[in-house]
């Protein structure tokens, strides 16, 4: 029965929509035709969208690695005043949902941005600088929001790295460059590949930055939306298939590379010692650089907070907003119309996450007790939503269930559920991996049945990790914009869509107030996830 439920969800929610989209791209009018593909590749705009998407994503990986990896080494290998605070602030961009991060950069570095106008007035320039627009603007926004993946993955890899390996290399006379390139970095390959995968997928799926800063730059995620908006469904399906194919190709390429480079530590598990900074000059330089980094990282957060108190319609050509008010927050909490998007996001994310947790627990228990091709097939279906951009998942669901769910409030939470299946299942599976099998064996030895063992022994042990993974899925659904803009209806519009709506009518203050509330909700959920995941809580002892 459990296996039946698992495969019904995977086939209906994952396999059928993607197969329908792929087949539908070749049968636009009921008969076989590759005309939409021919039109796509025969037009410069189509080729440009595909090329730009791939180029921007690879460039984003390179830029993010260039920022995140050195930062991780600095915080892990050196000890200096304020290190822990700076390390926490280095993860600050993770609190900004994609759309919120983009509008904060718009307020700071856009044509009317505070920083752009300040530099223009100070230097006497004819135009604001930097006026973020085009590919470089997209890359800058991507690098700021996505370097965190490399920073966090590399930091985790360095924490697990055995310091004895590097000490042995030094003893054998290896230079610091040889030690880095022949010992340290090879051992970090799994972390680097994981970060590169997440960064590339996030860039391919990115909609907010190209949509707001792209100008005339074409990318597939935005082209899918435009094609659907213009009623050109055959072209939207073709662009969806190409975007999905590109993402999956890179996924398999990086997995293949990782498989060919297997490195493992055979040391004694000795942590590397941090090098203290003792020089007064070095401390002063580190302090100045640290202050600059802190300001750069938290400036977008502060900008959104400042703008949330700006009266709508008052900031036009002035350098700084002239009028401030608390009305933006008051009307959000007192006017049912303004409160509705917050309620929508909370209930949709809550329903989707609850379903993810319940289904993920069933699926993981079944997967760990099953072997053979059926399990491998289920594993492939589970990972597919993670490998596909949100635009692809949303359009596939919309087209395949157009006669049943399109135009209803139910479709969007279902899309949230499908997109977060891999995240929750992997989190639960990691909790199972940390559990000693002897615990289940002991329960069976004492006469406990399978269901009793699962209910009283297994679930209490894995539930903290499962809840932590589910809370991360809740955050993803709460701040989702890419999927939402494809399938939402007015009655269930989430916070991200309402932010865009307020920006379109120049209600900058109200849009920013929504953004601040979204960041606060995400921060509260992250704190809750950390508390749930906190070590030292053994449910069997309580």
Burial of residue 458 (number of CB atoms within 10 Å: 0-12, 13-18, 19+): buried
Q: Where are the domains of the chain?
A: 1-30+325-542, 37-307
User: Could you tell me the two tokens for 308?
Assistant: 């949330």
**pLDDT-above-70 percentage for the chain:** 88
Compute the distance between CA of residue 121 and CA of residue 127 in angstroms, rounded to an integer: 9
Compute the distance between CA of residue 305 and CA of residue 186 in angstroms, rounded to an integer: 42
Summarised one tens digit per residue, pLDDT across range 87-123 is 888 888 877 888 898 999 989 998 888 999 899 888 9
Summarised one tens digit per residue, pLDDT across range 408-441 is 999 999 999 999 998 888 888 877 766 666 666 6
Mean pLDDT across 296-300: 87
Compute the distance between CA of residue 132 and CA of residue 280 in angstroms, rounded to an integer: 38
Mean pLDDT across 357-368: 88
* Nearest one of 166, 182, 109, 163 to 140, comparing CA atoms: 109
Q: Which residues of 136-154 are buried (b: 16+ CB within 10 A; e: fewer)?
A: ebbbbbbbbbbbbbbbbbb
The answer to whether 1-30+325-542 and 37-307 have equal CATH topology is: yes
Is the predicted pLDDT of residue 164 greater than 70, yes or no? no
Mean pLDDT across 237-254: 89
Is the predicted pLDDT of residue 533 greater than 70, yes or no? no
Asked whether the beta carbons of 199 and 61 are under 8 A apart, the reply is yes
In the structure, what pLDDT confidence band is assigned to residue 513 with cuts at 50, 70 and 90? very high
Compute the distance between CA of residue 46 and CA of residue 236 in angstroms, rounded to an integer: 11
Asked whether the beta carbons of 421 and 414 are under 8 A apart, the reply is no
Mean pLDDT across 338-354: 95
Is the predicted pLDDT of residue 257 greater than 70, yes or no? yes
User: Could you tell me the two tokens for 344?
Assistant: 């929508």
- Count CB atoms within 10 A of the CB of residue 119: 15
Asked whether the beta carbons of 410 and 428 are under 8 A apart, the reply is no
Predicted TM-score (pTM) of this structure = 0.85
Asked whether the beta carbons of 386 and 14 are under 8 A apart, the reply is no
Summarised one tens digit per residue, pLDDT across range 468-485 is 788 888 999 999 998 999
Identify the three-state secondary structure at position 324. Answer: strand
At which residue do the structure tokens 């289904």 appear? Answer: 359
pLDDT at 539: 38
Average pLDDT, the chain: 84
Summarised one tens digit per residue, pLDDT across range 166-184 is 667 777 777 767 777 777 7
Compute the distance between CA of residue 418 and CA of residue 434 in angstroms, rounded to an integer: 26
Of 76-90, 117-131, 232-246, the range with the lowest mean pLDDT is 76-90
In the structure, what pLDDT confidence band is assigned to residue 260 with cuts at 50, 70 and 90? low
Q: Which fold has domain 1-30+325-542?
A: MetI-like fold (1.10.3720)
Collect all residues with Cβ–Cβ distance below 8 Å to 314 and sequence separation of at least 6: 321, 322, 323
Compute the distance between CA of residue 80 and CA of residue 507 in angstroms, rounded to an integer: 44
Summarised one tens digit per residue, pLDDT across range 26-85 is 987 777 888 899 999 999 999 999 999 999 999 999 999 999 988 888 888 777 777 788
**pLDDT-above-90 percentage for the chain:** 38
pLDDT at 365: 84
Compute the distance between CA of residue 353 and CA of residue 326 in angstroms, rounded to an integer: 33
Q: Which of the 8 DSSP states describes residue 403?
A: T
pLDDT at 218: 93
User: Could you tell me the two tokens for 522?
Assistant: 């995400």
Q: Which fold has domain 37-307?
A: MetI-like fold (1.10.3720)
Is the predicted pLDDT of residue 377 greater than 80, yes or no? yes
Q: What is the dihedral of CA 38, 44, 46, 52, to 10 degrees?
A: 140
pLDDT at 541: 37
Residue 25 vs residues 32, 225, 237, 405: alpha-carbon distances, Å: 9, 16, 5, 20
Mean pLDDT across 175-196: 78
């Amino acid at each position: 029965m459990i296996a039946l439920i698992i495969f019904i969800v995977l086939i209906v929610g994952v396999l059928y929509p993607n197969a329908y989209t792929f087949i539908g791209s070749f049968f636009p009018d009921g008969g076989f035709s590759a005309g939409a593909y021919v039109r796509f590749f025969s037009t410069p705009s189509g080729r440009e969208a595909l090329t730009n998407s791939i180029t921007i994503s690879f460039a984003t990986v390179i830029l993010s690695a260039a920022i995140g990896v050195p930062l991780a080494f600095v915080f892990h290998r050196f000890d200096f005043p304020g290190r822990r605070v700076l390390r926490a602030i280095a993860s600050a961009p993770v609190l900004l949902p994609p759309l919120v991060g983009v509008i904060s950069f718009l307020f700071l570095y856009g044509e009317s941005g505070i920083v752009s106008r300040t530099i223009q007035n100070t230097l006497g320039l004819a135009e604001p600088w930097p006026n973020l627009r085009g590919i470089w603007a997209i890359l800058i926004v991507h690098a700021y929001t996505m370097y965190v993946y490399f920073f966090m993955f590399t930091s985790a890899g360095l924490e697990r790295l055995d310091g004895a390996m590097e000490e042995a290399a030094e003893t054998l006379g290896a230079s610091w460059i040889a030690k880095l390139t022949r010992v340290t970095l090879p051992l970090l390959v799994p972390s680097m590949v994981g970060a590169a995968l997440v960064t590339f997928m996030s860039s391919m799926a990115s909609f907010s930055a190209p949509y707001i800063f792209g100008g005339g730059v074409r990318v597939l995620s935005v082209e899918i939306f435009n094609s659907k908006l213009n009623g050109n469904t055959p072209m939207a399906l073709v662009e969806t298939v190409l975007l999905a194919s590109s993402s999956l190709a890179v996924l398999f390429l990086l997995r293949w590379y990782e498989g060919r480079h297997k490195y493992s530590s055979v040391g004694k598990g000795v942590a590397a010692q941090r090098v203290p900074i003792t020089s007064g000059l070095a401390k002063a330089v580190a302090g100045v650089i640290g202050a600059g980094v802190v300001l750069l990282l938290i400036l977008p957060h502060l900008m959104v907070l400042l703008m949330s108190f700006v009266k709508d319609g008052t900031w036009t050509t002035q350098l700084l907003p002239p009028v401030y008010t608390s009305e933006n927050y008051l009307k959000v909490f007192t006017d049912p119309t303004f409160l509705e998007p917050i309620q929508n996001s909370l209930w949709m994310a809550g329903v989707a996450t609850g379903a993810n947790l319940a289904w993920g627990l069933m699926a993981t228990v079944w997967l760990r007790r099953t072997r053979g091709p059926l399990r491998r097939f289920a594993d492939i279906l589970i990972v597919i939503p993670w490998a596909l951009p949100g635009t692809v998942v949303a359009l596939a669901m919309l087209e395949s269930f157009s006669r049943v769910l399109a135009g209803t409030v139910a479709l969007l939470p279902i899309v949230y559920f499908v997109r977060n299946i891999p995240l929750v299942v992997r989190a639960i599976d990691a909790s199972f991996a940390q559990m000693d099998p002897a615990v289940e064996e002991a329960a069976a030895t004492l006469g406990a049945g399978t269901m009793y063992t699962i209910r009283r022994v297994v679930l209490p042990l894995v539930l903290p990790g499962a809840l932590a993974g589910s809370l991360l899925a809740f955050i993803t659904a709460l701040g989702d914009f890419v999927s939402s803009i494809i399938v939402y209806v007015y009655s269930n519009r989430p916070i991200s869509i309402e932010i865009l709506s307020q920006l379109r009518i120049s209600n900058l203050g109200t849009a920013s107030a929504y953004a601040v509330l979204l960041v606060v909700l995400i921060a509260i959920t992250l704190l809750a996830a950390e508390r749930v995941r906190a070590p030292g809580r053994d449910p069997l002892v309580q």
